[in-house]
A = this chain, B = another copy of it.
Amino acid sequence: MNNNYAIGVFDSGMGGLTSVKELNELLPGEDIIYFGDTARIPYGSRSRETVLRYAREDVAFLLKHKIKMIIAACGTVSSVIGSEPLVDNMPFTGVLLPAAQAACAATKTGKIGVIGTPATIRSGSFGKAIKAIMPHAKVIGNACPLFVHLVENGYTARDCQITRLAAEEYLTPIKAEGVDTLILGCTHYPVIKDIIADIMGEGVKLISPGAEAAKYAQSCLMSADMLNEEGHVGKNTFYVSDSRELFEENAKHFLEHPVSGEVFSCNLGE
């Protein structure tokens, strides 16, 4: 392992790009190797066993490349594994702990909302992580099974009535509890943060787990003296398990600009 190796990032699909975007801004000298399992998305409606199996295969794929750290930029994977790392020979983080820490730092009332996929909410992991930091916190979770599909299919405009209706259904019970902080517990959700913010109201701070994981990676690499030493502008390389074309078509919604970097299609099953 070498400081000039890349940071490996994976997600069930394109949600993890919200983390790549933040990494590019925070650590412009780092190379990123991204794997998006677009042939098997969504993870969040699957069983714990299937999510774990897929996550291990994703990590095995990244480990075939020259990487020095792995970020599981997927709320479902991060929740299902809890505080267990998926590798033991290099720095690793999911989005769970960085997001829980950010939420605890942000809340004033100790009432924190968590939204995520059914698998994430079923696991109760965000609640456990928050209570480990702030034992008296009140955590209110709600599953949002349609959000990942709405985002992946482009229903992301601020005035999209279908997404607003789904968001009202999912967020109203959380808002009624008077939370002042809301964890967007799936890396797809920041793409519709305007709609979520409109419904939650101005007083509620939204926590983006992909961005918090990127900040955590930055401090982790800095404190371990593992930053890239080449003094170059890092490059992104993307691997996806479905077609390149479908990826490039949608990735811009997550990156907020067209894909910069090479994109390759690969087949995990072969």
Contact = CB atoms under 8 A, between A and B. Distances in A.
Most chain B Cβ neighbours within 10 Å, of A40, A47, A245: A47
Interface stretch (A86-94, A150-158, A208-216): A150-158
A161 B47 CA distance: 28
A65 interface: no
B169 A162 contact: yes
Contact of A39 (B46, B161, B162, B241): B46
Interface residues of A, number: 28
Nearest to A154: B145
Contacts of A201: none
A45 interface: yes
Interface in A143-197: 145-146, 149-150, 152-153, 155, 161-162, 165-166, 169
Interface in A227-244: 241-243
Interface of A: 38-40, 45-47, 49-50, 53, 145-146, 149-150, 152-153, 155, 161-162, 165-166, 169, 241-243, 245-246, 267, 269
A246 B150 CA distance: 22
Give how many copies assemble into the complex: 2
26 contacts: A39-B40, A39-B46, A39-B50, A40-B40, A45-B152, A45-B246, A46-B242, A46-B246, A47-B242, A47-B246, A49-B243, A50-B242, A50-B243, A53-B267, A53-B269, A145-B153, A146-B146, A146-B153, A146-B155, A146-B162, A149-B149, A161-B165, A162-B162, A162-B165, A165-B165, A269-B269
Contacts of A149: 145-146, 149
Contacts of A38: 46
B153 A45 contact: yes
Nearest to A267: B53
Contacts of A152: 45
